[in-house]
């Protein structure tokens, strides 16, 4: 039976008082005192087994901020969600993905309308697929999603834990918040091991939408590069 993480601090603070109580009751001779002090030193020298944090990541990190780069006015843009620390934590058999774009839209009293989630896939191509993962979409809104996957067995692998598909139609260009923590004001992305919730770090970030290069601009750039290459060839 595992000791709950929440009980560890209680044990740490309860040991000294219990040991002091026992020492007072003993008829302490010098040799007994030395033996008891040695036992006390051994108890506090034993390291407590620590659990690793599961870290959820996506996109690119720049200056401590995570960015998802999308192209403007484009549908079906897929973003991978990764999970690390699962192996070190002894595996997981459940994953709750809570995700929000901007203020979440009208479902939570917001005013943002894009970019929108097209779909969420926590099965195909993820670490959960081989373990018989079953996905349930609890909240399915344009700017707010909650999807849960449960597996039939423990998965002890780091890697892709989900896919988000975006549509930036109607947004134009610019930046907007992306949340995995505090979604809808109270939902946090997390992983599970049985009935226990694993300590999960799921950082919020920014969706960065940039314009798609126009064909004419690309032709100009390519023509310029081709001209430079021909000039260098003639000079050679």
pLDDT band of 170, cuts 50, 70, 90: very high
CA dihedral (82, 107, 134, 74) positive or negative? negative
2-11, 21-30, 127-136: least confidently modelled range:
2-11
Query: Which pLDDT score is estimated for 17?
Result: 43
Query: Which pLDDT score is estimated for 36?
Result: 61
Bridge partners, 176 (sequence order): 207
Provide mean pLDDT across the span 1-26: 39
Q: Note whether 107 and 141 are within 8 A (CB).
A: yes
CB atoms within 10 A of CB 17: 9
Tokens representing residue 191 in the block: 């992983």
Closest CA to 115 of 103, 127, 98: 103
Residue 145 has pLDDT above 90, yes or no: yes
Residue 138 has pLDDT above 80, yes or no: yes
Alpha-carbon span 149 to 134, nearest angstrom: 5
Query: Which pLDDT score is estimated for 143?
Result: 98
pTM value surpassing 0.85: no
Q: What does the pLDDT look like over 181-210, one tens digit per residue?
A: 999 999 999 999 999 999 999 999 999 999
Residue 24 has pLDDT above 80, yes or no: no
Query: Which pLDDT score is estimated for 52?
Result: 75
234 or 101: whose pLDDT is higher?
101
Provide mean pLDDT across the span 64-86: 98
20 or 114: whose pLDDT is higher?
114
- The DSSP symbol for 202 reads -
Q: What does the pLDDT look like over 92-125, one tens digit per residue?
A: 999 999 999 999 999 999 999 999 999 999 999 9
Percentage of the residues of the chain whose pLDDT score is greater than 90 = 67
CA 116 to chain centre: 20
Provide mean pLDDT across the span 19-45: 50
């Amino acid at each position: 039976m595992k000791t709950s993480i929440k009980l560890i601090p209680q044990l740490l603070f309860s040991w000294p008082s219990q040991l002091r109580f026992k020492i007072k009751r003993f008829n302490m001779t010098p040799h007994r005192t030395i033996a008891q002090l040695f036992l006390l030193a051994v108890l506090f020298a034993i390291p407590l087994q620590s659990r690793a944090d599961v870290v959820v990541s996506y996109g690119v990190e720049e200056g401590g901020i995570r960015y998802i780069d999308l192209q403007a006015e484009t549908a079906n843009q897929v973003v991978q969600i990764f999970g690390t620390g699962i192996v070190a934590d002894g595996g997981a058999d459940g994953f709750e993905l809570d995700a929000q774009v901007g203020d979440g839209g009208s479902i939570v009293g917001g005013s943002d309308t894009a970019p929108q989630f097209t779909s969420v896939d926590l099965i195909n191509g993820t670490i959960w697929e081989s373990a018989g993962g079953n996905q349930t979409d609890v909240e399915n809104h344009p700017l707010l999603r909650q999807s849960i996957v449960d597996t039939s067995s423990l998965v002890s692998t780091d890697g892709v834990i989900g896919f988000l598909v975006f549509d930036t139609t109607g947004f134009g260009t610019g930046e907007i918040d992306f949340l995995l923590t505090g979604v809808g004001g109270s939902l946090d992305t997390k992983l599970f091991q049985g009935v226990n919730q694993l300590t999960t770090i799921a950082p919020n970030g920014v969706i960065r939408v940039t314009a798609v290069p126009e064909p004419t601009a690309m032709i100009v750039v390519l023509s310029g590069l081709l001209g430079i290459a021909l000039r260098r060839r003639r000079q050679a």
